[in-house]
Amino acid sequence: MAGNDIDDTLTRIEQLIAEERELRAQATGTGLSDDEQKRLKNLQQRLDQYWDLLRRRRASAEFGGNPDQVEPRPVSEVESYRQ
């Protein structure tokens, strides 16, 4: 069912946001180790990737396509849009 992929994508976004918030809270308190800083950057990139995927899946559904067939773009491609 098309809605499942969209719901799954939203669930994953919520999980990534929760982890990002935990790291940001820690950053304002005790700071972040190098590994945690790398993890935070990775989380931000993954969030960009999942937001892009969600937008594309919703557009596919809106225009009669099959959102289940929309695959995530590589992080490098999604990140290049921001520059």
Cα dist. 27→2, 36, 53, 71 in Å?
38, 9, 28, 33
Alpha-carbon gap, residue 63 to 23, rounded angstroms: 38
- Reported as a single tens digit per residue, the pLDDT across 19-59 is 999 999 988 878 899 999 999 999 999 999 999 999 999 99
Q: How is residue 67 written in tokens? A: 């959102």
Is the pLDDT score of 72 beyond 50?
yes
Contacts of residue 2, defined as CB under 8 A and 6 or more positions apart, other chains included, come to 61, 66, 67, 68
Question: The whole model's pTM is what?
Answer: 0.84
Is the pLDDT score of 1 beyond 50?
no
